[in-house]
Amino acid sequence: MVYRVNYPDSVQFLYALGNEIQTAKLGLERIAQVLEALDRPQDRLRFVHVAGTNGKGSTCAMIASALQAAGRRTGLFTSPHLAEPTERIRIDGRPITAGRFAAAFERVHATVERLLADGLLDMHTTYFETVTAMALVVFAEEAVEMVVLEVGLGGRLDATNIVTPDLCVITPIDFDHEAFLGSSLEAIAGEKAGILKAGVTAVFARQRREAGAVLDLRAEQLSIPVARTEAWRIDDLELDARGSRFLLSGELDLRIVCPLAGEHQVENAATASVALTRLGVAEPEIVAGIARTRWPGRLERVSEHPEIVLDGAHNPAGARALGAYISRFYAGRRVRLIYGAMRDKAVDEIGGILFPHAQQVIVTAPRQARALAPESIRQVAEHPDLRTAANLREALRMVKDDATAEDAIFITGSLFLVAEAREMLVV
């Protein structure tokens, strides 16, 4: 039977598969079976495979931007999205169209249904597995020259690990998703190291000692060459609230201008730069590509008077990065923080890191079924001026009623909350 699925229906079906983290079924059997039935689109593509806890999305965006600057037709697969699922599948910096997304969904979904009917699958592919297959189909159809592929969860058993890349990149590893990846840095690093493959060069960002030891051991076991950002020097570093400039010196000298705000982006830009040298991208294209990178929802300034900054600091490492940013650039100013989170996050730890940097905290809930109620956040987080708001619109009204031109308002926590804020505030 021939049928056509429109974009809203494809998105509704994907959401009906359940939250991509909560319903994750780690393992490569399903994705391998589906891609086999789709004529193995991954075999017609080249990949940069990027894992890590924080910074992997920014690093992917910088690598993809520089590949485009070098004239290579580039696919970019990232997660999660902010506004629309089409953002996850980009070609030369642009999300695919709603129609193309629906067509890719229809092809993958029909294949999955056929395999289920034949008894070859144990269950429908998950949200993330389905979109991963869709991305590989689209990139193969478009004959992109290189795909920058971000790991969804972990690495070893993540659906993206079905590919054999040209290069593996691992950004800084920290605590997140412990229920899936393990409760120690060593266990989490072991899952991330699962993307490493014999014969494939790796690039490692600076790591905490425990994580670095695990990565180094796995690389040694596989006898693979490793390029480490710590082997490159960072000099003449200039940081401001809008980005950074520095000289990265190693096998060559790169005068980097990074438009992504936050000191943590210096390491991400260095990691992307080292990766790009391994892909044969020339110095002018590396510099130009990183300088034109855009990555919404991460220290993104959406208003000047009052100043409003959006940042998806959804885990402890992200909270530390945001806290350091506020301390460095907003000392002496009144900082108002609007925070919302999902139920599976370490809210007490994140609040303990982040809330002391603000003079006022308003806790609220993203417009999601899994959102943690503001009253629940209040029970585990402490602050001398902590207020609750039923939703983001009410929280914004509370801060804007008495905001001065010098106030800085940060909307942070869940990327769902950041997406809502962008919908309301970005024209």
Q: Of 19-28, 315-324, 379-388, give the lowest mean pLDDT range.
A: 19-28
Question: CA-CA distance, 127 to 116, in Å (whole number)?
Answer: 16
What DSSP string describes 118-173?
TT--SSPPPHHHHHHHHHHHHHHHHT-SEEEEE-SSSSTTSGGGGS--SEEEE---
For residue 97, the model assigns a pLDDT of: 97
For residue 141, the model assigns a pLDDT of: 98
- Determine the average pLDDT of the residues in 396-417: 92
> What is the rounded average pLDDT for all residues in the chain?
94
Higher pLDDT, 83 or 137: 137
pLDDT tens-digit map of 86-139: 999 999 999 999 999 999 999 999 999 999 999 999 999 999 999 999 999 999
Question: CA-CA distance, 322 to 133, in Å (whole number)?
Answer: 34
Share of the chain above pLDDT 90, in %: 86
For residue 25, the model assigns a pLDDT of: 65
pLDDT tens-digit map of 151-197: 999 999 999 999 999 999 999 998 876 667 766 999 999 999 999 99
- Determine the average pLDDT of the residues in 218-238: 98
For residue 427, the model assigns a pLDDT of: 63
Question: CA-CA distance, 170 to 263, in Å (whole number)?
Answer: 18
Q: pTM of the entire structure?
A: 0.93
Give all domains of the chain, ordered by start, each with its CATH number. Answer: 7-291 (3.40.1190.10), 300-425 (3.90.190.20)
For residue 1, the model assigns a pLDDT of: 41
- H and E: helices and strands count for the chain: 15, 17
Is omega for the bond preceding 80 within 30 degrees of 0, making it cis? Answer: yes
Q: Give, in degrees to the nearest 5, the angle at Cα 271 between 267 and 272.
A: 120
Query: Shortest CA distance to 204 belongs to which of 172, 248, 232?
Result: 172
- Determine the average pLDDT of the residues in 393-405: 90
pLDDT tens-digit map of 317-352: 899 999 999 999 999 899 999 999 998 788 999 999
Is omega for the bond preceding 306 within 30 degrees of 0, making it cis? Answer: yes
pLDDT > 90? residue 315: no
